[in-house]
Amino acid sequence: MKEKIRLRTALPWAALAFSLVFLPQLSPHRVGLAQGNPQSQISAGDKQAITLFENRLKEYVKLRGKVKAKLPSLSKDSTPEQIESYRKSFEEKLRVARAGAIRGAIFTPAAADYIRRTLKTEFKGKDRVELREIVFEADTKGVPLRVNHPYPDTKEMTEMPPTLLLKLPQLPKEIRFRFVGRNMLLVDRDNNLIIDYMVDALP
């Protein structure tokens, strides 16, 4: 799988990449307060949407933990073939465990609305043009927008800019945001399962 962070010097993303490693895990409204920016403080309705979003992700992580615990462990001497077989088995068993998963269970309408507004607010002018160019240059054509299906190994994964991660709801370490065109996906970092997605995330 081709996975890379597509950064350009015109954007301030790379400058924050190192510092993010040392930042505490903050939810969006706490980030706003820490930065002392009144405009970053969010409404009660948005806080409720974010809390539900984060809680449902925690439920997913709990489920994946139960599935993973039943898999045979990999040793430090495992071959690439054994590692790939493990990943594939993890994906398949997790798909079975969440067979009833539907689109919008995590990206609820309220959470999706908050994310769209945040993207529109945080990236304007040149930054927005740069972000869209990076996303649309990525080789993601043909990636299926299907919940509980794998993100193809052959397709590029476009990382979320570090500065933008500070503004969006907190993700567990097991999950990543990905862009496919204007659409945003939640993808399991270990088995590439598409957990949920929202359309027209980018302005």
pTM for the complete prediction? 0.76
pLDDT one-digit tens code per residue, 107-129: 999 999 999 999 888 777 666 67
Mean pLDDT of 18-36: 41
Residue 43 neighbours by CB distance under 10 Å: 10
Residue 42 CA from chain centroid, whole number: 21
Instruction: For residues 121 and 164, give the distance between their C-alpha atoms in angstroms, rounded to a whole number.
Output: 11
Q: Which residue has the tokens 């949407």?
A: 49
Question: What is the structure's pLDDT at 40?
Answer: 53
pLDDT one-digit tens code per residue, 124-175: 766 667 777 766 767 778 788 899 999 888 787 777 777 777 888 989 999 9
Stronger pLDDT, 5 or 91, i.e. the higher one: 91
As given in the structure block, the two tokens for residue 23 are 């930042």
Question: What is the structure's pLDDT at 128?
Answer: 67
Instruction: For residues 25 and 95, give the distance between their C-alpha atoms in angstroms, rounded to a whole number.
Output: 29
Stronger pLDDT, 29 or 96, i.e. the higher one: 96
Each domain of the chain, given as residue ranges in start order, spans 41-72+79-198
Question: What is the structure's pLDDT at 126?
Answer: 65
Instruction: For residues 180 and 135, give the distance between their C-alpha atoms in angstroms, rounded to a whole number.
Output: 7
pLDDT one-digit tens code per residue, 56-102: 999 999 999 999 999 998 888 889 999 999 999 999 999 999 999 99
Phi, psi values for residue 184, rounded to 5°: -115, 135
Residue 31 neighbours by CB distance under 10 Å: 19
Question: What is the structure's pLDDT at 180?
Answer: 87
Instruction: For residues 203 and 134, give the distance between their C-alpha atoms in angstroms, rounded to a whole number.
Output: 14
Whether the per-residue pLDDT at 4 is higher than 50: the answer is no
Q: Which residue has the tokens 């302005």?
A: 203
Going by C-alpha positions, the residue among 168, 164, 175, 141 that lies closest to residue 7 is: 164
Contacts of residue 112, defined as CB under 8 A and 6 or more positions apart, other chains included, come to 104, 198, 201
Question: What is the structure's pLDDT at 141?
Answer: 80
Stronger pLDDT, 140 or 14, i.e. the higher one: 140
Phi, psi values for residue 42, rounded to 5°: -105, 165
